[in-house]
Amino acid sequence: MSPIGGISISTGPNAANRIEFNSFALNTSQDGVGPAINCVAGGFIAKNNIMSANRTPTTGANQFTGTCMHTYSIVQPGTIPTGTHNSGSDPLFSDSARGDLRLQATSPARGAADPGSDLTGVAAHDINGTLRVTPADIGAYQFK
């Protein structure tokens, strides 16, 4: 079991630091640490992310911990962050048990990313190289 789960953020916010358009699934962390995102970075904003089915030894633990603000994200199960446009819906991955985190056609993540998202630089394409278009999909994959 990893003590930190998916990712641990400990840097301050600035234009070069972004945690956007990621899919975190089936990560495991120790109790008290967010199994998807653990953040000790002050006012850092994480957006357009999916945090689903990550776990700790304690059943029902939250997907995230710390001081980051989360917006336009899907968090399931656990507490939904208080930020703008967050959801507790099932993201409807193609087959998360086998590591396929692509979105199904009916996924609530489709077209649900922040409409003001900067789709340049690393956010211009998804993890497979597919061009992101507005309205972009939440998570690592843009539905084709």
More confident residue, 109 or 38: 109
Q: Are 19 and 37 in contact (CB under 8 A)?
A: yes
pLDDT tens sequence across 14-28: 767 788 999 999 888
For residues 117-136, average pLDDT: 95
pLDDT of residue 2: 57
